A and B are shown apart, each in its own frame.
Chain A
């Protein structure tokens, strides 16, 4: 088994952290995992992305030709990574910020209002955790509880219990929403 996911967005959306939490959860589950970030100047306000590979045997390349899952948190990320997704793979589209449907027909689209859902929970910055919930469902190799646990380990400094709690709630919300039967999305502009 080897599954891969690309988390992509703009700097500040927390895509690197979302990938890191998934990687930690995979490790705690006894799996092999690599977390490979984009790094350097583009971290500061530009696009950011990371690739997480999860396997039950030692991982060779941390670079992935065809990710099984793509999380696109903004439009440029979808434009850049959609063509690379493995046929039959899943693309999670942050409907809060992305105005177009998928162009490809050989991958599954999961449309999620990550920012709106996070705002509903009272923590707009937790959009990345909402999206992570959808990634966990699409990947299907790391239990949601393990990811919730990893949120605690990653964010859980003293006095941050509320932050951990709201992020876990966001994770669960995204997981739950992404499991609902797909409603045909309406887009203001065509793909």
Chain B
């Protein structure tokens, strides 16, 4: 760490992130998650053998933010693309970074079957309960009653179903090594989520198998809420629907 007479550098951009500016909205958790992931890659020293699979969604550019090899997958297919990479070259560390529309709607089949095969990949699942990139439509994880541009009178469970609990669904399978749900609404939870991401990656490095880290994220723009209020909403309401904690840890 560079040191001068008066100052010590205690915070820096992770080495495994590029200089490219994020395209996320102010206050959005995606940037934080990208940073946590970059830090974990640094910590495990795996930048030179990591491949990041980017989804279609707000994280569509994710493959360019890491100083790692990267690939952009079709909407919903990231788990299948990650499977292909990992099977082709098991020495690579493969991270699939996906949002809720990508992973839990159009990509449900790919998600479940990659998990069920126990593919040795790490899935970072960003659950912000909305389609951000396309302008705030209802996601499979949208809360009951939550208004979106495609559920303007609020999600009606009678015709639109209830929010899909992905971590619980994946935890019901026998193969996954680590399934957890984390949040980022305060410093304590950021620290916990960071440890969870590190563990999920470590399990892959140690060739243990599949892991999924679901992260409850905000979407200030889509939710039409200032970031601080959005964080409070996660703590007060969203965690009630999506309980935090480890669901499976077979490590």
A and B touch in the complex (CB under 8 A): no
